[in-house]
Amino acid sequence: MKHKIFPELSSDQLFERAKKVNPGGVHSPVRSFAGLGHSPVFFEKAEGATLTSVEGKTYIDYCQSFGPMILGHRDPEVLKPVHEMIDTAWSFGACEPYSLQLGEWIQSHIPWAEKLRFVSSGTEAVMSALRVARAATGRHKILKFEGCYHGHVDSLLVKAGSGLAGIAAASSAGVSDAVAGETLTVVLDDEMALEEVFRREGKNIAAVIIEPLPANYGLLIQRKEFLIKIRDLAKTNGSLLIFDEVISGFRVALGGMAEILGIYPDLVTYGKILGGGFPVGCYAGRKDLMELVAPLGNVYQAGTLSANPVGMVAGYETLQKMQRVNGWQLLEKRGQYFEKKIKDLFNAKKAPIEFIRYGSLFWFHLKTEKPIRQVGQIPAGQKEAFRIFFLKALERGVYLAPNAYEVGFLSLAHDEAILDRTVKILEEALG
């Protein structure tokens, strides 16, 4: 940005003005710092692993736009083709080769994505996958898991995570009882409850949807046996399995959790990394299911800006670079490096904090005796402990996602020097 907008205003002043324009001063709830006792920082620049506020203060960024920026912000190898695309076209609303390039790449690397459709957000991808599942099975009910977030699709705001995490009534107003009534929920990591709901409702369940690595109510790493059980029960009951890999897709491995686990869904949803920081979502899956979508089939789904060429190029170039540099292996190594240093620090300081990591995703929670796999196992003091930790880190220049239940993201721009600096800052913060 060449010209500063509102050059005379601080973050606090901008927030006061924003509150007069949008609900709560934000365009997405978690950005508001609600419950943290601080007003949000307004940023004007992003580069690599850092964000710079309107006051000119630089922060090491572990939010990374909630996941899309796997290479870090404005990676030069993505920036150049994106510039070229912007110089060529912004949107066609017509057929073009850019989405074909990305689509073919996905199809050739992810065998369970036999056919796919690009949309503009993760929410849209999930909403469309549900529609396909209902059309394919002729059934109405959807089974989801407590604490999993699948975007703001009406029927999936029941017992969801993300911005709804930590709220007593974790469902949204404005969702009719009829719609909410079509959603069944089960606690994660509970095979008996799962069997019971299938025994009761199996014939009515169009699809089971799960984040195979639940990352919207903290990082609730599941046992593989539990996910196998879900796959088996869905199959024997004629229900479809949808993996929501909007966060885990292209992050934990090229083929996401499905690849790591060797458990393959009937339909899968992607977003975030796939657009390299631009608005892109995707639903994909079995050919017979995807061929139900219009204009081939009678499941209607459309989008003015779907497969926007700038997002298509950003996503494609991001993934090409990840492959070229073996990014997933590199991120695992950086994750291990960070984990060891953080755990050593917490031990040395006798801090009652646990550091949970899966690849380049991490989460801090108050120490517990057993690994946390369900929402109900998260200690009661989590919110307040996080508030203190977050503010101390923020003050010293480390930006974590502003919510006790959001995960942190590492990018390839988080090199060892930056990770070392972070650990030093957290050491000071722990006092």
Question: Is residue 149 among the annotated active site residues?
Answer: yes
CA dist., res. 327 & res. 335, Å (int): 12
Q: Is 211 in the site for ligand PMP (CB under 6 A)?
A: yes
Question: Is residue 358 among the annotated active site residues?
Answer: no
Residues touching ligand PMP: how many (CB under 6 A)? Answer: 16
Q: Please, which of residues 60-99 interact with ligand PMP by CB under 6 A?
A: 66
- Residues 223, 228, 233, CA angle at the centre, nearest 5°? 130
Q: Is 122 in the site for ligand PMP (CB under 6 A)?
A: yes
Residue from 137, 162, 183, 308 binding ligand PMP (CB under 6 A) = 162
Burial group, residue 154, by CB count within 10 angstroms (0-12, 13-18, 19+): middle
- The two three-digit tokens of residue 138, written as one number: 């002729």
Question: Is residue 4 among the annotated active site residues?
Answer: no
Q: Is 126 in the site for ligand PMP (CB under 6 A)?
A: yes
Q: Is 244 in the site for ligand PMP (CB under 6 A)?
A: yes
Residue from 39, 121, 185, 222 binding ligand PMP (CB under 6 A) = 121
Contacts of 371 (CB under 8 A, 6+ apart): 221, 356
CA dist., res. 132 & res. 193, Å (int): 26
Complex with ligand PMP: residue 75 or 244, whichever CB lies closer: 244
Q: Please, which of residues 272-311 interact with ligand PMP by CB under 6 A?
A: 281
Q: How far is the CB of 273 from ligand PMP (least distance, A)?
A: 11
Indicate the DSSP class of residue 155: G
Q: Please, which of residues 382-411 interact with ligand PMP by CB under 6 A?
A: none
Q: Is 128 in the site for ligand PMP (CB under 6 A)?
A: no
Residues in the chain: 431
**Which of 98, 149, 217, 283 does the annotation list as catalytic?**
149
**Which of 159, 272, 321, 341 does the annotation list as catalytic?**
272
- Residue 37: other Cβ atoms inside 10 A: 10
H or E element: which one contains 203? none
Q: Are 360 and 331 in contact (CB under 8 A)?
A: yes
Q: Are 270 and 250 in contact (CB under 8 A)?
A: yes
List of residues contacting ligand PMP (CB under 6 A)? 66, 121-123, 126, 149-151, 162, 211, 216, 244, 246-247, 271, 281
Catalytic positions, please?
A: 149, 244, 272
